[in-house]
Chain A
Amino acid sequence: GAVVSQHPSWVICKSGTSVKIECRSLDFQATTMFWYRQFPKQSLMLMATSNEGSKATYEQGVEKDKFLINHASLTLSTLTVTSAHPEDSSFYICSAGRGVTIYEQYFGPGTRLTVT
């Protein structure tokens, strides 16, 4: 159990366009979902945390108007990169949390975004 999927697994888009990444918890309801970004050969950096039905909490330095997060249901969260630029090219990983106080986080397989 505790499977998280991401779609697409990779995407190439042109500079200035927007791209949406979906994160789904397949066999459990996620109280919270997390979005991470990982640049090549670097660690995972938390971008934002979202709870179903409420606004996402963004980490310092992450532009909320550029990285739109929607957590419409307990099994789906989406990250939209708006007006993408080449510097947004990265590996985006979501995780879904299950639990009341200390979250058990289950990670998706990641989405590799390349902006040309």
Chain B
Amino acid sequence: AQKVTQAQTEISVVEKEDVTLDCVYETRDTTYYLFWYKQPPSGELVFLIRRNSFDEQNEISGRYSWNFQKSTSSFNFTITASQVVDSAVYFCALSEAGYGGSQGNLIFGKGTKLSVKP
């Protein structure tokens, strides 16, 4: 069965600190996608990244970076030099290649609330 675990419920940092949000997933599929979304207080989900299971290259986008390790089934997200605007709930999600009706369904972790204090 598929599952996404975000063990950190809440994290609080001071501005300019680096912070890593953990994500561990479970799946039986060999083809799957992993995602990170940001949900600010307004509620709208903001897409951050999508990664397929065959691409283990780490990715960097500005202050954001992602570390995908299939050996540990982890897809961690690091924010470098955090800013107050980074305060939000961050969700990791899994989508399997699927079979039958489950194709494309997103399974979300419980989210990590990040608070960045000035």
Contact = CB atoms under 8 A, between A and B. Distances in A.
Interface string A56-97: 010000000000000000000000000000000001010101
A88 B50 CA distance: 31
A49 B44 contact: no
A109 B45 CA distance: 7
Given A42-B110, A43-B91, A43-B110, A103 B104 contact: yes
A108 B47 CA distance: 11
Given A57-B101, A102-B95, A107 B43 contact: no
A79 B64 CA distance: 35
B97 A102 contact: yes
A26 to B, nearest CB: 15
A29 to B, nearest CB: 15
A95 B111 CA distance: 18
B44 A109 contact: yes
Contact of A103 (B45, B52, B95, B110): B95
Interface residues of A, number: 25
Given A91-B43, A107-B44, A109-B43, A102 B104 contact: yes
A95 B5 CA distance: 22
Interface in B5-56: 31, 33, 37, 42-45, 47, 50, 52
A51 to B, nearest CB: 9
Nearest to A46: B105
B106 A46 contact: yes
B111 A43 contact: yes
Interface string B74-112: 000000000000000001000101000101111111110
Contacts of A106: 47
Contacts of A103: 95, 103-104
A65 to B, nearest CB: 19
Nearest to B93: A44
B72 to A, nearest CB: 22
